[in-house]
Structure 1
């Protein structure tokens, strides 16, 4: 039985500079998800689309822990779930179903992240969904979609309903299942997931207090994105991303391999 981390030969130099940077960023995101405790062993997925008409995208090698993933180990697949480049690892069919559906339908959704965190799944089971009870909740509530639970996402016909339910939103609660964010780049998708996760954690904690909650006034939701853009000088997740990479370089280097 293999007990050491799997070894992968580097693909740097065999892929474009653009693809390599996407690989580095996505591998970093996987390790950050592990660092914050949002991984579910090997059973959730982050993906990023490679620019081009083929709609190829990168996803995790199924069976590898998130803390082990490297830029070279990511698997490149097409919209049919077929591996474009050779890899000894398979792709999780559920990950393919969700991510391929969104990448095909949404040109702006270059990066898609999906998690099964305790707080995220708990909030997804609340009948009211995400409540407007924190500043963090306002960001997802400004563009939030819901998708009803249909079992493990392995059926082809569910893809159309995922796309329909997501619409133009960048945040989605998959009922009884977890959270999903999408964005134009890895940094923005990660920041969105960070805020989304915090909103769910706050909601679970607030409801556990067994006290009447004070909702945020509705008009605040309408202007939260513009106010957030002011705070980050329109840089979004890119403002925090270099610092997050420096953190990884200190605590879990190797994602660039």
Structure 2
């Protein structure tokens, strides 16, 4: 499924936070959304999973306007892991993951045996199967994050939206999650702060600054010293990874002395 943002503009509290953003994510493609704090990444993602409605432009799935779809139909196609993702009720991990099936069920319809197996596989995939009987409020931040990713996978979406999904995760689970995204067979739009992880995990990178798209392309084309200086305000060298050739950013900390925090 192809996700297309077509000249999307979003206003929040009277301020335009996203400006005429055009971006496409193709089938089985992982696109990383990068940018400094306040660049519009989260706002752009929220317009895709319908938490915000664009005031201009459109978000389309295979050419169909996402905001014109019934909520249940949209939820069958798009799943999201948000920065605000949390649990207020102490459901068990198994119950929380099973909530991902809600768009596919009617009323109090029980999960089928195939759906229970789907939940078990998703929990195993995210390394939380051993926590199935635990209440989610008793989990660490990283454990809870993995549970929420499992819930999104159980939704069986065609498009997956993730806003800073590696937050709270240890290095092992960061790499495990990003490797999973590459093999998920989904259209994935993910915001990340770690540029090296983004370069390793994403087919293309899209960089926002002040709500505008300023660069988009393969990691080796986007991650340049001049872009890092202009967009992120850092001095850095970019070198190929010795094994994969993927660009790696090497930061010059001495250049940051005396700059405001």
Same fold (TM over 0.5): no
Structure of greater relative contact order (alpha carbons < 8 Å, 6+ residues apart): 2
Pair member with larger Rg? 2
- How high is the TM-score relative to the length of structure 2? 0.28
Greater helix proportion: 1
